[in-house]
Amino acid sequence: MRIGEFARRAGVTARTVRYYESLGLLEPGERQGAGFRYYTEAELARLQKINDLKELGLSLEEIISVVPLYFEDPTRIRGKQKILEILKQHLQETDGKLAALAQFRIELQAKIDRIQQWLEEQTQREGK
Amino acid sequence: MRIGEFARRAGVTARTVRYYESLGLLEPGERQGAGFRYYTEAELARLQKINDLKELGLSLEEIISVVPLYFEDPTRIRGKQKILEILKQHLQETDGKLAALAQFRIELQAKIDRIQQWLEEQTQREGK
DNA sequence: ATTAACTTTGACGTAAACGTTAACTTATTC
DNA sequence: GAATAAGTTAACGTTTACGTCAAAGTTAAT
């Protein structure tokens, strides 16, 4: 498929796709005819995974180092020792974020409960 | 304390402090003498909470709406209904992120285990 | 053949979140 | 009192992640 359909199906713009290619996040799509890029379903899956990782708050630079793990045999990737270190660091950061987000959630819930309860008391006090 | 010490203790720069004040994230520090800002321990606590929320990936704009809840009686804050909606949305987004991060962690751990096991097999195969 | 839709590259613009610099004043230390 | 450190505002610079535009060409449908 061409870049417009590729981008649409992934929920991004063609500009984004060319930008990711320039970063090395996406392979240069196979060029045909007058230089048009053509993409495969496999490449679409990769772009969708990139989107997922972005949603997690990873920067594009971080995604560059992480995304190969989803589409290549990890044992065949170059520089495994280094990747192992990067992964462990990611894991540690992820654990920290999980804990912080869970705490944030508890605090949020408590405040929601408090405001909600107060509003209900106000409503009852108004005789409604 | 003055802005330099205030920033240092919070782990940010004076530029950041002035920027946050311009956004309304921080109260304008009390001015003395020739316009120097002076800050209190309470304001330091607020700045540290802002940092914590930033670490969670919230934008400064989002932090503006969330941070008052930590330092003011939620029932006394203006526009409670609206804040309740914002909080509920945050809670929903936080739950989504928690689930996604947990999944991401599982995937990361699995890949770490796989690479680690392969490396160990390599080492044993080398008779070392 | 015509036309609409799509593509290309390059480059400037935008937003968020500051960093850095300049010019000037004040506070602190010796 | 001099020297040094710290403070002020304003403004331009930087980075990340694109958006938008221009100019020109290609592809696909009719």
- Percent of chain A scoring above 90 in pLDDT: 35
**What are the sequence ranges of the domains in chain A?**
1-71, 76-128
Report the half-sphere exposure of B70 (CA within 13 A, side-chain side).
20
> Phi, psi (5° rounding) for residue A27?
-70, 150
Residue B80's pLDDT is what?
72
Q: Is A45 touching B (CB cutoff 8 A)?
A: no
Nucleic strand C interface residues, CB < 7 Å: A 2-5, 14-15, 18, 29, 35-37; B 12-13, 15-16, 19, 32-34, 36, 54, 59-61
Q: For residue range B70-121, what is the model confidence (pLDDT) as tens digits?
A: 888 777 767 777 777 777 877 888 888 888 888 888 888 888 888 888 888 8
Question: Looking at the predicted structure, is the pLDDT value of residue A108 above 60?
Answer: yes
Q: For residue range A72-86, what is the model confidence (pLDDT) as tens digits?
A: 877 776 667 777 777
* Contact by Cβ (8 Å): B51, B10: yes
Q: What's the CATH code, domain B1-75? A: 1.10.1660.10
Q: What's the CATH code, domain A1-71? A: 1.10.1660.10
Which of B's residues 21-60 have CB atoms within 7 A of nucleic strand D?
A: 29, 35-37
Q: Is B79 touching A (CB cutoff 8 A)?
A: no
* Residues of chain A with C-beta less than 8 angstroms from the C-beta of B90: 108
**Beta strand B36-38 pairing with B30-32:** antiparallel
